[in-house]
Chains A and B, each alone.
Chain A
């Protein structure tokens, strides 16, 4: 082995623990990239494979009612490859304990698997023409309630509980996430059953004749989607076209995409953060190694080694760590990617899981670690090459560190020597203290990013369900309703207060930008939905006349400022509104206008509504829910407490994901602090050995080191918490989407816990170094010049 390589190798071995800690840090950085980006790709491929295999519709149209023959008219368009007509009815469903939930009956032709939005059958078979009272049940719902082929399901059809026998259980590309609508920000198979039934049979039960209300199609290859959509909309317009939902806006797909986007963002941010931490740790270690090896550098140069040889010698130090770290990262990251993919796919019911080996991702991980290694090593390595040999050889690093005179402040306020020493060690050793502080601050960042995610999620839920949504039940109708339905609902036992709203899918246009949203027409004096307006505005002012309130997310997307004009395209036509204020809510794409304004725009002679906010007597929630589902036209009844429970259920996966991030962050932070603390102590072996030689006890040495740690912790506390908070805000915002918006939040208790965990880790990680100091061969250590 080349002698220089041998020296590099020995240097690594002589600081074995620190080198291993660095390898772990780099390894975790690479593993986070490979596992998360790999899982992202696997999940994307899995979704895509599922969509292609099951012929997921490019676009779906909803109408009031249309003759089934309209499908042939659409199919005749040259740019349409396949089309399916369906009858989609939202209704209630009665669980065995009489608990009503929401169901969606999707009636399709029983002649064979639909050409568009086919099912992936996990059990049983598809519908047959001779089936009577039969259904194929969506997988997520079947699995949640343990349903099997041959069991019964009991939707409410025509206001009556109608038992259907399960002939098959299958996954639908439209309901990989069982989301009923875009407003339903929390999909749950617990409260939403999707049942595929025979089209002729449902038509017969509902007395509809040969009518459908939903058309799905796939574009022909090379077709211009926008043109096809316009053409189909023209055909369907006479039948009360209410909604056009392109592939990207299907709630399940949007939710999955949001998950994937969040995944990709967090993979990028976490990988970058961890690699940055690793680079900083390598920088700190290398610069300290070079400092301590200045006499050796001087000697190498005096012996005739060139500047570039010296520079490469120290650069190879970080490169070797990067290579070892990359290998560890690959070994950890590949199985982890598979585990994340399988866990997510199982949790979300993705039927076709594809897992691949991505050599380019491994190469990216290795190259990234090498890039950061060079970045970390180049500056100290160049500094080593620039050292003048004579000066370097004669330098005693121990005495050259402290510059300047005793400050006036120190002369005025004389603290005991036992405190003065650690204070000086921190504040009079800027180079050492800054690299240590960097390690501590990065540890704050890592922990606060992990823990802050959980806090932000919990805060978001708490704020949404306690402060903003003050109703107990949200009732959605299949179609707009009038006063007489309201009277029936008010008469239900347990119903205390009712507020009417209209919720309409709209497209908002402003300044050349366009966004899909839900317009919620809200009473200006609403007691059951509290808009989160700027402090100087009341809902009555913000919603006055043609004024509109948007969520922060939507206002940002449309680049709006107060006073701007928004054009609203809705089934009611095109209207202009003035943007008045933002509301700070978790829902992403929601716009609010005055209920009265929208009523007057609808041109209806009597007030209409399609959703209700209701407060209920807490003892009568279940009975009231059952009664509500039996009101004709009720599509769903969401009980706030149930929705909250669903959130908490879904949080299991979220917490598992954040948990993995947190474990990574904690291990990295520990490795980082271990390195910072041990190097801090070990590079002063002679100093501590001298103290012991002149009679300082083991306990005194330990106290001095720990006191220095506490001072260092105190000095980094505020910047650590602030930078950690800022990093968390950045990280959390990567999860924002038009479905919901995270509000960065960290509980005071989390700040306190993080600070204490870091202090404890610092104190504990210095123990091995203190033990080493207290076992030093004093005769030798008092002569060491490092």
Chain B
């Protein structure tokens, strides 16, 4: 076990029953992720990368094994504890942005903030600060339908950072964006990770993104095929796909 590991997966298995067939989505997965690390989980469809993300994020429970986050065994949590865990420890960024359509950009961020604090004035100011961080403060009063894909994803990043979670989990965050917009989103994530020492786990099947990570974990058939350590991660501007 790594000394400063924030996230630990120990002998994690995840099986799905699809009719008569049992699908082994994760097979004896062992992985430590350090605080402030920017890690990319890379692999083709069905390799287990999204399942890994889900068990770390408390969206799914492993069939066996242990997932520890900041020393706590989240696999032992009940639903209520998992809700609390997600609220305080994890920020999610989804491929389809998943913004609430009836809330403006600012309000989408406020919604996440309001889960842990109640002061309305503070919420609004903090939401603006976060949007400012992703360069969207002037779009705070726009609804998602009025924002481009890249802008929506940056709002999603601001929302994910709202409660300063130690972990950000991103599932194909650029999957729905063009290259230029994708680069911009990745840059924001990279900067935030560095500035706030936030651990980022990014799932993608796009190997072009891998050079920007501190570490690249290649998955295959539910297990780790290979781990590559990038001594000097590439700047986002050099990425292309």
The residues of A with any CB-CB pair to B shorter than 8 Å are 396, 398-406, 411, 414, 416-418, 420-421, 424-425, 428-429, 686-687, 690-698, 700, 777-779, 782-783, 785
Whether B102 contacts A400 by the Cβ 8 Å rule is: no
Instruction: Give the complex CA separation of A410 and B178 in angstroms.
Output: 34
Judge if B164 is at the interface, Cβ distance under 8 Å. no
- Nearest 10 pairs between A and B by C-beta? A695-B87, A424-B102, A690-B98, A779-B54, A778-B59, A779-B59, A695-B86, A402-B143, A399-B144, A779-B60
Closest Cβ neighbor of B140 among chain A residues: A406
Whether A414 contacts B59 by the Cβ 8 Å rule is: no
Q: A417-B103, A424-B103, A782-B92 are in contact. List 9 more A-B contacts (CB 8 A).
A: A398-B101, A403-B143, A405-B141, A414-B120, A418-B114, A424-B102, A691-B111, A694-B159, A779-B50
Contacts of A411 in B (CB 8 A): 141
Whether B100 contacts A691 by the Cβ 8 Å rule is: yes
Contacts of B120 in A (CB 8 A): 414, 416-417
Whether B87 contacts A694 by the Cβ 8 Å rule is: yes
Whether B92 contacts A694 by the Cβ 8 Å rule is: yes
Whether A402 contacts B101 by the Cβ 8 Å rule is: yes
Instruction: Give the complex CA separation of A692 and B83 in angstroms.
Output: 7
Contacts of A700 in B (CB 8 A): 115
Instruction: Give the complex CA separation of A690 and B102 in angstroms.
Output: 14
Contacts of B50 in A (CB 8 A): 779
* A781–chain B nearest beta-carbon distance, Å: 9
Instruction: Give the complex CA separation of A734 and B120 in angstroms.
Output: 56
Q: Given known contacts A399-B99, A399-B145, is B115 in contact with A696 (CB within 8 Å)?
A: yes
Judge if B37 is at the interface, Cβ distance under 8 Å. no
25 residue pairs of the A-B complex, CB under 8 angstroms, read A396-B96, A399-B97, A399-B144, A399-B145, A402-B143, A402-B144, A404-B143, A417-B114, A420-B107, A425-B102, A429-B102, A686-B96, A690-B92, A690-B100, A692-B83, A693-B86, A693-B92, A694-B87, A694-B112, A695-B115, A695-B163, A696-B115, A777-B60, A778-B59, A782-B94
Instruction: Give the complex CA separation of A692 and B86 in angstroms.
Output: 9
Q: Given known contacts A405-B141, A417-B107, is B102 in contact with A686 (CB within 8 Å)?
A: no
Judge if B194 is at the interface, Cβ distance under 8 Å. no
Whether A405 contacts B142 by the Cβ 8 Å rule is: yes
Which residues of chain B (96-145) have a CB below 8 Å from chain A?
Answer: 96-104, 107, 110-112, 114-116, 120, 123, 141-145
Contacts of A693 in B (CB 8 A): 57, 59, 86, 92, 98
Mask: chain B, 143-154; 1 = CB below 8 Å from A; 0 = not: 111100000100
Whether B80 contacts A782 by the Cβ 8 Å rule is: no
Whether B101 contacts A399 by the Cβ 8 Å rule is: yes
Instruction: Give the complex CA separation of A697 and B59 in angstroms.
Output: 13
Interface size on B, residues (CB 8 A): 45
Instruction: Give the complex CA separation of A692 and B112 in angstroms.
Output: 10
Interface centre among A399, A406, A700, A779 (most CB of B within 10 A): A399
Judge if B206 is at the interface, Cβ distance under 8 Å. no
Contacts of B110 in A (CB 8 A): 417
Whether B94 contacts A783 by the Cβ 8 Å rule is: yes
Instruction: Give the complex CA separation of A779 and B92 in angstroms.
Output: 11
Q: Given known contacts A396-B96, A782-B94, A783-B94, is B86 in contact with A694 (CB within 8 Å)?
A: yes
Instruction: Give the complex CA separation of A551 and B141 in angstroms.
Output: 64
Closest Cβ neighbor of B121 among chain A residues: A414
Instruction: Give the complex CA separation of A692 and B90 in angstroms.
Output: 12
Whether A421 contacts B100 by the Cβ 8 Å rule is: yes
* A704–chain B nearest beta-carbon distance, Å: 10
Instruction: Give the complex CA separation of A501 and B152 in angstroms.
Output: 85
Judge if B187 is at the interface, Cβ distance under 8 Å. no
* B42–chain A nearest beta-carbon distance, Å: 19
Instruction: Give the complex CA separation of A40 and B159 in angstroms.
Output: 65
Whether A402 contacts B60 by the Cβ 8 Å rule is: no
Whether A697 contacts B83 by the Cβ 8 Å rule is: yes
Closest Cβ neighbor of B162 among chain A residues: A694
Contacts of B100 in A (CB 8 A): 421, 687, 690-691
Whether A421 contacts B103 by the Cβ 8 Å rule is: yes
Instruction: Give the complex CA separation of A700 and B86 in angstroms.
Output: 15
* B128–chain A nearest beta-carbon distance, Å: 14
Judge if B30 is at the interface, Cβ distance under 8 Å. no
* B170–chain A nearest beta-carbon distance, Å: 13
Contacts of B91 in A (CB 8 A): 694
Judge if B207 is at the interface, Cβ distance under 8 Å. no
Instruction: Give the complex CA separation of A152 and B50 in angstroms.
Output: 94
Judge if B88 is at the interface, Cβ distance under 8 Å. yes
Contacts of A690 in B (CB 8 A): 92, 94, 98, 100
Whether B98 contacts A686 by the Cβ 8 Å rule is: yes
Instruction: Give the complex CA separation of A417 and B110 in angstroms.
Output: 8
Instruction: Give the complex CA separation of A464 and B79 in angstroms.
Output: 64
Instruction: Give the complex CA separation of A420 and B124 in angstroms.
Output: 14
Contacts of B88 in A (CB 8 A): 695
Judge if B193 is at the interface, Cβ distance under 8 Å. no
Contacts of B63 in A (CB 8 A): none
Judge if B95 is at the interface, Cβ distance under 8 Å. yes
Contacts of B99 in A (CB 8 A): 399
Instruction: Give the complex CA separation of A779 and B82 in angstroms.
Output: 13
Judge if B84 is at the interface, Cβ distance under 8 Å. yes
Interface centre among A693, A700, A785 (most CB of B within 10 A): A693
Contacts of A777 in B (CB 8 A): 60
Pick from B51, B94, B112: contact of A695, CB below 8 A: B112
Contacts of B114 in A (CB 8 A): 417-418
Q: Given known contacts A417-B111, A424-B103, is B84 in contact with A399 (CB within 8 Å)?
A: no
Closest Cβ neighbor of A398 among chain B residues: B101
Contacts of A687 in B (CB 8 A): 98, 100-101
Instruction: Give the complex CA separation of A785 and B146 in angstroms.
Output: 18
Contacts of B142 in A (CB 8 A): 405
Contacts of B103 in A (CB 8 A): 417, 420-421, 424
Whether B145 contacts A785 by the Cβ 8 Å rule is: no
* B166–chain A nearest beta-carbon distance, Å: 14
Whether B115 contacts A417 by the Cβ 8 Å rule is: no
Pick from A402, A417, A425, A695: contact of B145, CB below 8 A: A402
Instruction: Give the complex CA separation of A778 and B92 in angstroms.
Output: 12
Q: Given known contacts A417-B111, A417-B114, is B83 in contact with A782 (CB within 8 Å)?
A: no
Instruction: Give the complex CA separation of A782 and B100 in angstroms.
Output: 12
* B104–chain A nearest beta-carbon distance, Å: 6
Contacts of A416 in B (CB 8 A): 120
Instruction: Give the complex CA separation of A759 and B158 in angstroms.
Output: 38
* A51–chain B nearest beta-carbon distance, Å: 66
Closest Cβ neighbor of B142 among chain A residues: A405
Instruction: Give the complex CA separation of A48 and B195 in angstroms.
Output: 94
Whether B101 contacts A401 by the Cβ 8 Å rule is: yes
Contacts of B104 in A (CB 8 A): 406
Contacts of B60 in A (CB 8 A): 777-779
Closest Cβ neighbor of A428 among chain B residues: B102
* A332–chain B nearest beta-carbon distance, Å: 38
Whether A421 contacts B102 by the Cβ 8 Å rule is: yes
Contacts of B143 in A (CB 8 A): 402-406
Contacts of A785 in B (CB 8 A): 96
Q: Given known contacts A399-B144, A693-B57, is B107 in contact with A783 (CB within 8 Å)?
A: no
Contacts of A695 in B (CB 8 A): 83-84, 86-88, 112, 115-116, 163
Instruction: Give the complex CA separation of A687 and B50 in angstroms.
Output: 19
Instruction: Give the complex CA separation of A223 and B140 in angstroms.
Output: 89
Contacts of A418 in B (CB 8 A): 114
* B178–chain A nearest beta-carbon distance, Å: 13
Contacts of B159 in A (CB 8 A): 694
* A411–chain B nearest beta-carbon distance, Å: 8
Contacts of A425 in B (CB 8 A): 102
Whether B145 contacts A421 by the Cβ 8 Å rule is: no
Interface centre among B100, B120, B152 (most CB of A within 10 A): B100
Closest Cβ neighbor of A416 among chain B residues: B120
* A701–chain B nearest beta-carbon distance, Å: 10
Contacts of A696 in B (CB 8 A): 83, 87, 115
Instruction: Give the complex CA separation of A416 and B107 in angstroms.
Output: 11
Which residues of chain B (185-207) have a CB below 8 Å from chain A?
Answer: none
Contacts of B87 in A (CB 8 A): 694-696
